[in-house]
Amino acid sequence: MEFEDEVVEEMERELEEMRECYRSGRTREASWRKSQLKGLLQLLREREEEIFRALHQDLGKHPAEAYRDEIGSLIKSLNYALDGLKRWMSGKKAKLPRIALLTSAEIVPEPLGLVLVISSWNFPIGLSLEPLIGALAAGNAVVLKPSELAPECSSLLANAIPCYLDDKAVKVVQGGPGVGEQLLHQKWDKIFFTGSVRIGRRVLAAAAEHLTPVTLELGGKCPAVVDTLSSSFDRKVAAQRVLGGKFSFAAGQVCIGVDYVLVDKKFSSTLVETMKVVMKKMFGENPRESRSVARIVNKHHFIRLQNLLLDPMVKSSIVYGGSMDEDNLFIEPTILMDPPLQAAIMTDEIFGPLLPIVTLNKIEDSIKFINSRPKPLAVYVFTKDESLRRSVVSKTSSGSVVSNDVVVQYLADTLPFGGIGESGMGRCHGKFSFDAFSHQKAVMRRSFLVDFWFRFPPWNDHKLQLFRSSYRYDYLGIVLTVLGLKKTDRVSKSVQTSN
Amino acid sequence: MKSLSSINLSQDFSGLGGICRAIRTFVYCPPSRANPSPISLTHSSLRVSRCSTSLLSVTMEEAKKQALDAEKAALLVKELRKSFNSGRTKSYEWRAAQLQSISKMIDERAKDIIQALQLDLSKPELEAFVSEISMTKSSCQKALKDLKHWMAPEKVKTPITTYPSSAEIVSEPFGVVLIISTWNYPFLLSLDPVIGAIAAGNAIVLKPSEIAPATSSLLARLLGEYVDGSTIRVVEGAVPETSALLDQKWDKIFYTGSTRVGYIVMAAAAKHLTPIVLELGGKCPAIVDSNIDLEVAARRMIAGKWVCNNGQACIAIDYIVTTKSFAPKLVDALRLALEEFFGKNPLESQDMSRIVNLYHFRRLAKLLDEDGTSDKIVLGGQRDENNLRMAPTILLDVPEDSTIMQEEIFGPLLPILTVDDIQDSFHMINSKPKPLAAYIFSNDDGLQKQFVQNISAGGMLINDTVLHLTIPTLPFGGVGESGMGAYHGKFSFDAFSHKKGVLYRGFKGDTAARYPPYTPEKQRLMKALIRGDIIGIILALLGWSKE
């Protein structure tokens, strides 16, 4: 216990030093921000092999997947931030009505202060550094707490970051739930959390103790609506993208991966046949040997996924795959057809390589199906029918919508990435990340030269008339009233008499 | 919600003592004509002459009866969710019609509104007209004018990685939202967020403040009459009703009020993962340099303090920092202008609001009477407890650890602190929580620049006060202890909208590199694609590598 107190004291002392560093103004400088972003770029370039290794050890990720989802996408984000930094940092002029003579106004982004980034284990590098880019670009001091469930990546970040970034203003704190809890007790100016709904709630409750604004990047069951596609080419592309979006991103352990597929009953068998062909091509006869499927992160999650299949009704709905290897924490990419809707596999977020296909009487019913469940982080729709596409966009609610593809929205810096309802709050990526870590300060400047005498008491009807005109931006009215040519309003008289 | 009840009861009902006012008890009534819903909370009025101990117990009992209302609150939300799910609030026509009705309501009922504000706060008619009616009306007009533009999806560029594709950001309503407003600008601060929520297409419950009862009941009546009752509701009430509402699951909560209750609202929101906007307050400083046009500046300071509901405003000047040598001149200028505005006997002036209730009157009196503070009064200090009137009061050099310098004043008391060098004021301000607004009066460009750079505040205004909140192109909102989130103009629309990223792709333009099995060639192509490196892509496709 005493030891723990010491640890907490040490943490508090370090945080105070970081706050002091922030107050010195160093992190606000454009040059500082730029040097930090460049430091991250250098880290990714010089430590690429180490990162590949750590991701393989933690999750069995293939380097190609690691590069596509983590290193490469981070490099892209860093370049985008470096490119936009100057523009993002500069104040934006705000338009003013003409009545505000000799006045100027702008919106100046300012850093929030000392911020906390808590990331998750499924993309342990990407989801740690992506928010860090935004926090640094916005000029904050940052504490990063990577997930202890990806220990190799966590320790890699802890060792590498101090070598490339300003260690007075950026720190990595490693540890499990105990450390996370201690961190959450501190006062932050912003908390950015990526992870599960359960811990998200805990983060928000802790933030409420200090009125700290929070961004929560959570998950949910992301559906893919697949319309009846008549051309075999389209079918193949759709199957490839759905299956790729499910199994080739950390073996389905991804918040924007496809959770389940919705399809017209009459089209379902055709779709499954196409999928089987594509599966064979992607992962071969023996997926375990292919090295193209990541493994399950740990025993706990392996057993959780195993339990999803325990229900005999669920087990009997398997139409492809289903084999498991507990020693290697490997689960074969698995497709299920119409598992019971009340089974855990259809009520909980799956977060693993199991793909249920749910059949509907007509594809339009998918809107109702999606709306009767918590709002997901993403909705995918594969169709050539413009009206179906439009109703998915306008009638369902989700973090994002992608038509005819999956997961690629993660790479679009110009689109806000973030959930709604149970899938999270706040948004990130590109300029949105910068904004998530900035306060938009309204700044207005006035001169002493113009002063409307009618702004001040004692009040009379004449002044009332002038206010009426000025709020309507009725310039002629103002002139007439000032010249005494316009009749003044009688409201005040009537109120006074009625009293 | 225990903490909420214990905090507020005393202040909510203590105002009754001084001024024989109508208080209302909230009872559940059978469906009425005006409000056909079976679960609407209506009220009956009970006139009470003076506060007595029995009154408080009666009120407590009423409160207990109401505490059962969680069930009705749940029903209310359920009903609104059903209306929202029908999709009617999403159409442009619905939004525009509601906004038009509110605009019409303001025009037709201006007299009633002014009267309610008179009853609640003795707000001078012109002040009521300017700061509540006109502001609400112009906010409504702005929303109507720009609504189509706000609602249109915003096209954005897409990266080469996802080529060929197109993308847009679609604004969608959150769903069923709760707006809790406050008593100092009870009309504006209720309807301004409602306007944003309507523009964004949400179903709405508004809970006006029970501390401004006349305006609260007027809002309930008027909105029932003018807007769509199946999607926009007013729930009147005090702590038990608020607690019952906060227990429900909302898609967004917008709260205006004190920092203390802000904590409670956020804790309640956390249980349901509800995003929130908190419009709180704080001690808004004004730095006064010595190189200014003092006559104009003094007028503007008064406009930013006593003309703002007698200092009971979240963006009113809380304290002034100036140099030792300039302070006497500043006090003289303020004295002169104050007399011009409010006459020789400000307690009699009809041009200034009164203190809202006895609780707040006594709170302010206590600030003033504290040892070490009471002898620092250089102007004013007169008060009339029976009429809840308090004169503009200026204090010079109160100790920094006095209560008046620790808490938000929210009333007509203005401490002036002095420093040797005006630069020292930055440190003084930064040692306190971040305020909602910060002001500076100075002609020194360098100092202005430092002020913007070194001081963090919700918003800032140079050489004037309060005006920044009338500008719809500026976001209005706090930072740190002064709140989170912003509104006004398009920012209101955004505060009540989820920004959905939508990406459209065709079936063509697929690269095998995206899919397993992974080969070294695919890895090279992917690297090039992600870097947006055209030459690299061509080389990789041709099977060559740059390395």
Q: What is the pLDDT of residues B439-464, one digit of tens each?
A: 999 999 999 999 999 999 999 999 99
Q: Which CATH superfamily is domain B285-477 in?
A: Aldehyde Dehydrogenase; Chain A, domain 2 (3.40.309.10)
The pLDDT of residue B524: 72
The pLDDT of residue A483: 58
Domain identity same for A199 and A234? no
Nearest CB among B114, B157, B506 relative to A404 is that of B506
Domain identity same for A108 and A153? yes
Chain A residue closest in CA terms to B277: A213
Interchain contact, A444 vs B467, CB within 8 Å: yes
The pLDDT of residue A13: 94
The pLDDT of residue B546: 45
Interface contact A88, partner B, CB < 8 A: no
pLDDT averages per 10-residue partition of chain A, 499 residues: 73 95 95 97 95 94 87 92 96 76 86 97 95 98 97 97 97 93 95 95 95 94 95 92 89 91 96 94 83 87 94 94 92 96 95 96 96 95 95 95 89 91 94 96 83 67 70 62 55 40
Residues of A in contact with B343 (CB under 8 A): 458
CATH of the domain at A409: 3.40.309.10
Residues of A in contact with B341 (CB under 8 A): 456-458
By three-state DSSP, how is residue A423 classified? helix
Q: Measured between alpha carbons, how far is A396 from A398 in angstroms, rounded to an integer?
A: 7
From the number of C-beta atoms within 10 Å of its C-beta (0-12, 13-18, 19+), residue B26 rates as buried
For residue A203, tell me if it sits in a domain: yes
In eight-state DSSP terms, residue B339 is H
What part of A 345-404 touches B (C-beta under 8 Å)? 371, 384, 389, 393-395, 397-404
The predicted-structure confidence for B312-343, as pLDDT tens digits, reads as follows: 999 999 999 999 999 999 999 999 999 999 99
For residue A195, tell me if it sits in a domain: yes
Pairing, β A378-382 against β A223-226: parallel
For residue A380, tell me if it sits in a domain: yes
Mean pLDDT of B224-252: 95
For residue A409, tell me if it sits in a domain: yes
In eight-state DSSP terms, residue B226 is H
The predicted-structure confidence for B26-85, as pLDDT tens digits, reads as follows: 333 333 333 333 333 333 333 333 333 344 444 444 544 444 478 899 999 999 999 999
Domain identity same for A334 and A405? yes
Read off the pLDDT band of B511 (50, 70, 90). Answer: low
In eight-state DSSP terms, residue B476 is B
pLDDT of residue B542 exceeding 80, the answer is: no
Domain identity same for A213 and A358? no
For residue A448, tell me if it sits in a domain: no
Of residues B281, B480, B435, B482, the one with CA closest to residue A114: B480
Whether ipTM > 0.95 holds is: no
Chain B residue closest in CA terms to A235: B507
pLDDT of residue B227 exceeding 80, the answer is: yes
Nearest CB among A97, A237, A422 relative to B507 is that of A237
Domain identity same for A434 and A472? no
Q: Number of Cβ pairs closer than 8 Å across A and B?
A: 323
Interface contact A95, partner B, CB < 8 A: yes
B488-515 core/surface letters (b: 16 or more CB in 10 A; e: else):
bbbbbbbbbbbbbbbbbbebeebeebbb
Interface contact A426, partner B, CB < 8 A: yes
Of residues A145, A160, A124, the one with CA closest to residue A203: A145
Least reliable range by pLDDT among A64-68, B153-157, B252-256: A64-68
Return the domain boundaries, chain B: 4-280+492-497, 285-477
For residue A446, tell me if it sits in a domain: no
In the residue annotation, B62 being an active-site residue is answered as: no
Q: Measured between alpha carbons, how far is B525 from B538 in angstroms, rounded to an integer?
A: 9
Interchain contact, B459 vs A444, CB within 8 Å: yes
Of residues A181, A210, A189, the one with CA closest to residue A8: A181
Task: Single out the catalytic residue among B62, B210, B236, B279.
Answer: B279
Interchain contact, B498 vs A371, CB within 8 Å: no
Interchain contact, A467 vs B507, CB within 8 Å: no
Domain identity same for A372 and A295? yes
The pLDDT of residue B478: 96
The pLDDT of residue B27: 30
Range of the domain at A338: 223-418
Domain identity same for A283 and A411? yes
Which residues are CB-neighbours of B366 under 8 A, at least 6 positions away? B403
For residue A132, tell me if it sits in a domain: yes
Domain identity same for A211 and A253? no
The pLDDT of residue A290: 75
Percent share of chain B, pLDDT over 90: 72
Mean pLDDT of B104-117: 94
The pLDDT of residue A475: 58
- Best of B86, B273, B451, B453 to substitute, by most chain A Cβ atoms within 10 angstroms, is B273
For B331, the token pair is 């006090």
Mean pLDDT of B237-248: 94
B88-118 core/surface letters (b: 16 or more CB in 10 A; e: else):
ebbeeebbbebbebbbebbeebbebbbbbbb
Nearest CB among A110, A422, A464 relative to B456 is that of A110
Q: Minimal Cα–Cα distance from A212 to chain B, Å? A: 7
Residues of A in contact with B523 (CB under 8 A): 63-64, 67
Write the DSSP string, A155-206: HHHHHHHHHHS-TTTEEE----HHHHHHHHHS--SEEEEES-HHHHHHHHHH
Q: Minimal Cα–Cα distance from A300 to chain B, Å? A: 26
Regarding predicted confidence, which is higher, B28 or B517? B517
pLDDT of residue B14 exceeding 80, the answer is: no
Domain identity same for A356 and A406? yes
Q: Minimal Cα–Cα distance from A430 to chain B, Å? A: 12
Interchain contact, A458 vs B479, CB within 8 Å: no
Interchain contact, A464 vs B526, CB within 8 Å: no
- Best of B85, B92, B113, B126 to substitute, by most chain A Cβ atoms within 10 angstroms, is B126
pTM recorded for the entire structure: 0.88
Nearest CB among B118, B170, B505 relative to A404 is that of B505
> Number of structural domains, chain A?
3
Write down the residue that tokens 């620092």 correspond to. Answer: B376
Domain identity same for A387 and A267? yes
For residue A449, tell me if it sits in a domain: no
Nearest CB among B266, B452, B500 relative to A398 is that of B500
The pLDDT of residue A332: 94
Q: Which CATH superfamily is domain B4-280+492-497 in?
A: Aldehyde Dehydrogenase; Chain A, domain 1 (3.40.605.10)
Least reliable range by pLDDT among A414-423, B14-23, B274-283, B376-385: B14-23
Topology match between the domains B4-280+492-497 and B285-477: no
Q: Measured between alpha carbons, how far is A321 from A336 in angstroms, rounded to an integer?
A: 9
pLDDT of residue B404 exceeding 80, the answer is: yes
Interface contact A323, partner B, CB < 8 A: no
Q: Minimal Cα–Cα distance from B531 to chain A, Å? A: 6
pLDDT of residue B112 exceeding 90, the answer is: yes
Interchain contact, B156 vs A408, CB within 8 Å: no
Domain identity same for A136 and A174? yes
Domain identity same for A280 and A345? yes
Mean pLDDT of B166-192: 96
CATH of the domain at A203: 3.40.605.10
